[in-house]
Amino acid sequence: MTNNTTLLSQQEIFDLFKEKYSGYSPDFELWIKAGQVEKLNRLVREKKAVILKHNYMSWDLQCDEVLGIRGDSLELSRKATETDADLILFLGVKFMAETAKVLNPTKTVLIPSLKAGCSLASSITGADVRKLKAMFPGVPVVAYVNTDADTKSEVDVCCASGNARKVVEWALKEWKTNTVIFLPDKFLAQNVARDMGADIFFPDTSASAESNIRHCEEQRDVAISLHKGSPNILFIAWEGKCEVHEKFTPKDAIELRKDFPGVYIMAHPECPPEVIAEVDFAGSTGEMIKNIEKQDVQDRPVAFFTECAMVEMLAAKHKNVLQVCSIQKRCPHMAQNNLETVIEALENMQYEITVPEGLRAKAELPIRRMIAIK
């Protein structure tokens, strides 16, 4: 539903829920949820708000019956720059809402819970980035969008999982170098580096700057000899991990193929590289959702190595999507968003995201660069 459509009644929403989601909740619960969605949509219309909802929301928030725009981090960043609404309610985690605020300094941005953090965002700070830049002066810094505004304010360009390689290639060309600092996701860095045939170096944060520089140069010398004198691309990476995607293992893929012959497995590139090596497709949530529409994929059972709320939504639309208990992993931060907290956010105008102007202005450029890279 868009903000221009006629609002549905509780009965109309219930009928749609019963048709699509009866496998997830009994009728009495669907009726309660339908009433909550009716109330939420009315509040959105009254407040002249827009809801931006990440693909990892539960089905009762992701669903088409809830007014709003659904997408991955990159898509929602782009949509945040296009909205005319003065009030943005972001259903996701804090760094996403911060990104919307950075791009819309005059708008009010709300998030349903301040507990909706991110293990990746909390793994690094702006001070950490400054130390890296001091160790490796002149090297462009690419930050995954899963970072706080404090971190973004110290980097050159942001990236999302769906355009990480394109952003790195852009940075190498713009800075006329073959070295890039890529942070904070260890596994995304490894997966992109492998895809580009690049080498990778992880600084020891407990060691001195001189020691890290020496070890980095030693690794570069080895790489040059291996590549017969031609300096290869080098990633200087960080040790951050997604607490959801790091739990997937190669064994998960091997056992799935035994249990479901012919299964097509998709994984998010925040998964470890040894997991990515065992799957059929790796991409952002948006890319995985698009990929499932392909005919050769629709003819096979499909499994996902990513946050399980998205899988619930896809399983309701595509009967070939598997929901396997052993690989269902829920993000505790995304789970802070539910119909109750979302309604309270609009009713009470809570919790407002603020970013100091000096920090916001510095963080805006790397985000805008990310959005512009197609």
More confident residue, 3 or 60: 60
Q: Write the pLDDT tens digit of every residue in 157-208.
A: 999 999 999 999 999 999 999 999 999 999 999 999 999 999 999 987 776 7
Residue 40 lies in a domain: yes
Residue 149 lies in a domain: yes
- In this structure, the number of other CB atoms found within 10 A of the CB of residue 223 comes to 19
Question: Among 242, 262, 281, where does a domain finish?
Answer: 242
152: confidence class by pLDDT, cuts 50, 70, 90: very high
The pLDDT > 90 percentage for the chain reads 83
Same domain, yes or no: 173 and 213: yes
Residue 170 lies in a domain: yes
Mean pLDDT in residue range 326-341: 92
Residue 30: which residues within 8 A CB-CB, separation 6 or more? 14, 17, 18, 21, 22
Residue 147: give the domain boundaries.
121-242
Same domain, yes or no: 316 and 299: yes
Same domain, yes or no: 125 and 224: yes
* Pure H helices in the chain: 10-21, 27-47, 59-62, 73-82, 94-103, 126-135, 149-152, 164-174, 186-196, 209-226, 250-259, 273-276, 285-291, 295-298, 308-317, 339-348, 357-372
Element (H, E) at 336: none
| Amino acid at position 189, single letter | A
Same domain, yes or no: 171 and 212: yes
Q: Write the pLDDT tens digit of every residue in 21-59.
A: 998 899 999 999 999 999 999 999 999 999 999 999 999
Same domain, yes or no: 130 and 231: yes
Distance separating alpha carbons of residues 115 and 226, to the nearest angstrom: 47
Please count the structural domains in the chain: 3
pLDDT of residue 295: 87
Q: Write the pLDDT tens digit of every residue in 338-349.
A: 999 999 999 999
Same domain, yes or no: 158 and 270: no
Distance linking the first and last C-alpha atoms of the chain: 27
Residue 321 belongs to domain with CATH number? 3.40.50.10800
Mean pLDDT in residue range 79-98: 94
220: confidence class by pLDDT, cuts 50, 70, 90: low
Residue 2 lies in a domain: no
Q: pTM of the prediction?
A: 0.92
Mean pLDDT in residue range 90-108: 96
Residue 360 lies in a domain: no
Most confident of 45-59, 69-83, 218-232: 45-59
| Strand, helix or coil for residue 147 | coil
HSE-up of residue 244 (Cα within 13 Å, Cβ side): 22
β-bridge pairing 234-237 and 199-201: parallel
Count how many residues are written for the chain. Answer: 374
What DSSP assignment string belongs to 41-105? HHHHHHHTEEEEEETTS-HHHHSTTSSSEEE-HHHHHHHHHH---SEEEEES-HHHHHHHHHH-T
pLDDT of residue 229: 47
From the list 371, 285, 336, 293, the residue with the least C-alpha distance to 70 is 285
Q: What letter would DSSP give residue 230? A: P
pLDDT of residue 374: 80
Position 88 pLDDT exceeds 50: yes
Question: Among 242, 264, 296, where does a domain finish?
Answer: 242
Chain-wide mean pLDDT for the chain? 92
Q: Are 346 and 49 in contact (CB under 8 A)?
A: yes
pLDDT of residue 219: 64
